[in-house]
Amino acid sequence: MIGIFDSGLGGMTVTRAIEQLCPGYPLLYFGDLIHTPYGPKSSEALTEYAIRNTEFLIAQGASLIVIACNSAASIAGNVLREKFSCPIIDVIEPAVNQAIVSSTNGTIGVIGTQATIKSDVYPQKILAKRPHYRVHSQACPLLVPLVEEGWLNRRETKTITKKYLQPLRCKQVDTLILGCTHYPMLKHVIRPRIGKRVKIIDSSTETALFLKNFLDKNPEIAKGLSSQKVTNRFFVSDLPAPTQSLAQSIFGRPVHLEKVHA
Ligand code: DGL
């Protein structure tokens, strides 16, 4: 089974893309809603949560992990790769690869949580591949709580998003990485505020494509995953009121969320 985790609902955007692009693989999702948001947390706390989430998914039968959370991946991705022997894929590399080929003026914007932006992981990875590029980063700490509250179309959300994107507009970025898996749920708010010519890189789609490519290249691993029964399960460490309906709106169908102590 493929185990996928995030701090909350954001990783479901990745899960949905994996369902669509890699059908036939059973998925286990874990949303650590009791600890959401991850963005403002310390590196120690994020690392502890990431290890615990991975252990939980492996105990449920996962043999490949997708870190569907930029905050956890940027802080704890390497720790998880050292600690666990199963393949671990994250959302950062796929988005970086797509952004560098999408940009024509070499000016890329990245939006993410405080943890992701502070880690500097996107500029470092982009500049390692394209040293002449310019990368402008912007932390957007209020967006995750707004999404988790279901405030996807509120005036306040639009105003706050505009304020966050203004500095990137001034820098004339031609490509914008959504460096948080919650942000695809705000694409309809981000698109008109960053400008219609800017290419938006959605790490959920890019990660699903990256995973598909990885499984194509590793048929033994793919075979081990697909030989099991396709029953997707969705676990959460807490179940606040808006969660169920938001999960349903991400998948376009009712999703049964199982509350667990991970
Ligand atoms: N969706 C996650 C990310 O990609 C976590 C956001 C948060 O909990 O702050 O960063």
Distance 132 CA to ligand 1 centre (A): 29
Residues carrying an active site annotation = 69, 180
Domains of the chain: total: 2
Question: For ligand 1, what atom is nearest to the CA of residue 8?
Answer: 8
The boundaries of the domain holding residue 144 are 92-203
Protein residue closest via CA to atom 2 of ligand 1: 69
> Which of 119, 178, 182 should be mutated for ligand 1, with most atoms under 8 A from CB?
182
Cβ–ligand 1 contact at 10 (below 6 Å): yes
Cβ–ligand 1 contact at 6 (below 6 Å): yes
Please tell me whether residues 13 and 31 are part of one structural domain.
yes
Domain boundary among 183, 203, 223: 203
What spatial distance separates the first Cα and last Cα of the chain, rounded to whole Å? 18
CA distance 72 to 77: 7
Question: For ligand 1, what atom is nearest to the CA of residue 11?
Answer: 1
Please tell me whether residues 124 and 154 are part of one structural domain.
yes
Please tell me whether residues 211 and 85 are part of one structural domain.
yes
- Give the CA radius of gyration of the chain: 17
Cβ–ligand 1 contact at 138 (below 6 Å): no
Residues composing the chain: 262
Predicted local distance difference test score (pLDDT) of residue 227: 62
Distance 153 CA to ligand 1 centre (A): 19
Q: What is the pLDDT along the chain (262 residues), one digit of tens a residue?
A: 999 999 999 999 999 999 999 998 999 999 999 999 999 999 999 999 999 999 999 999 999 999 999 999 999 999 999 999 999 999 999 999 999 999 999 999 999 999 999 999 999 999 999 999 999 999 999 999 999 889 999 999 999 999 999 999 999 999 999 999 999 999 999 999 999 999 999 989 999 999 999 999 999 999 888 766 778 999 999 998 889 999 999 999 999 999 998 7
Question: For ligand 1, what atom is nearest to the CA of residue 68?
Answer: 4
Predicted local distance difference test score (pLDDT) of residue 228: 60
Distance 252 CA to ligand 1 centre (A): 22
Predicted local distance difference test score (pLDDT) of residue 49: 98
Cβ–ligand 1 contact at 179 (below 6 Å): no
Strands annotated E in the chain: 2-6, 27-31, 64-67, 88-90, 107-112, 134-139, 175-179, 199-202, 233-236, 257-259
Coil, strand or helix: which one is 31? strand
Please tell me whether residues 127 and 169 are part of one structural domain.
yes
Distance 91 CA to ligand 1 centre (A): 11
Distance 116 CA to ligand 1 centre (A): 8
| Residues 110, 95 contacting (CB under 8 angstroms) | no
CATH number at residue 15: 3.40.50.1860
Please tell me whether residues 209 and 86 are part of one structural domain.
yes
Torsion angle defined by CA atoms of residues 101, 108, 129 and 22, in that order, rounded to the nearest 10 degrees: -50
Distance 5 CA to ligand 1 centre (A): 10
Which spans in 86-197 are helix H? 92-102, 114-119, 121-129, 143-148, 155-170, 187-194
Question: For ligand 1, what atom is nearest to the CA of residue 116?
Answer: 10
Please tell me whether residues 175 and 98 are part of one structural domain.
yes
Please tell me whether residues 118 and 188 are part of one structural domain.
yes
Cβ–ligand 1 contact at 74 (below 6 Å): no
Please tell me whether residues 180 and 195 are part of one structural domain.
yes
